[in-house]
Amino acid sequence: EAGVAQSPRYKIIEKRQSVAFWCNPISGHATLYWYQQILGQGPKLLIQFQNNGVVDDSQLPKDRFSAERLKGVDSTLKIQPAKLEDSAVYLCASSLVGLAGALTDTQYFGPGTRLTVL
């Protein structure tokens, strides 16, 4: 079974530029998560989708970050404009079931995209 795919794996940009990350979850997984992991810290949830609807985006900096999950499959996360403090690894995860069982179901993580903002 293929895992969660993410691209690109690495990205270096200058501040105020834009960047986009792509995630392809495991086939059939209803729930998709984007986490931000700053160096030396644990992952922090940015946004959670169930199918193509947003469940939780309370920690997404909406003035600069946006995310979408068209057709309930792939997802993109965009930063525009980027700031120095956005340097981090962006992890995508997916789980099989919907809200009712989301917590008991295993979240499978992709390898992440390492973003460096200069």
Partner 1 sequence: AQSVTQPDIHITVSEGASLELRCNYSYGATPYLFWYVQSPGQGLQLLLKYFSGDTLVQGIKGFEAEFKRSQSSFNLRKPSVHWSDAAEYFCAVGVYNQGGKLIFGQGTELSVKP
Interface with partner 1, residue 48, by CB under 8 A? yes
**In whole angstroms, what is the distance from residue 56 CA to residue 15 CA?**
27
Q: 33 vs 65, which CB is nearer to partner 1?
A: 33
- Using the 8-state DSSP alphabet, how is residue 99 labeled? G
Beta carbon of residue 51, minimum distance to partner 1 (angstroms, whole number): 12
Beta carbon of residue 31, minimum distance to partner 1 (angstroms, whole number): 7
Q: 82 vs 93, which CB is nearer to partner 1?
A: 93
What three-state secondary structure class fits 86? Answer: helix
Interface with partner 1, residue 102, by CB under 8 A? yes
**In whole angstroms, what is the distance from residue 6 CA to residue 15 CA?**
22
